[in-house]
Amino acid sequence: MATALRNLSDYDFDNVPDASNMCFGIVVAEWNPEITGALLEGAVSTLEKHGALPENIIVKTVPGSFELVYGANQMTHNDRYDAIIILGSVIRGETPHFDYICQGVTQGIAQLNATNDIPIVYGLLTTDNLQQAKDRSGGRLGNKGDECAVVAIKMAKF
């Protein structure tokens, strides 16, 4: 469903399992920090709203979105995590670099999900401009970080 038709922060609170006995890994890209920082705030806040303890939310940073795959892969080697969330933001520019990064991260996370026992939640914003990224990281369309946290809790209980 297109984000324009739905607020990323809207969900049925009662339909989310208790996360008090869960541990989450979050890998967040440092590139576009205004956006990724807001995504991280949304994810952490939502995990905590559903009972996750702050000490059970482990955040690691990587330089850019392409490195999210490596970071998530490294976290899968630790059986401590019930789910892993990746958070990044790629904004289209004037070159095909956007396409290569988006495709690489998407394929990498899909491969990790297919070959690991820990769910990895895809929180990469792929937008045409900065305003679209702002709208999806706490702006008028909600926060993709909130949505990713709910997905992580549900997938951990899958």
**Which residues are part of the catalytic machinery?**
97
Q: Which two tokens stand for residue 146?
A: 């909130």
The C-alpha torsion from 21 through 51 and 105 to 131, rounded to 10°, is 180
CA dist 11 and 20 (Å) reads 19
Q: Which two tokens stand for residue 44?
A: 């952490």
Phi/psi at 49 (nearest 5 deg)? -60, -30
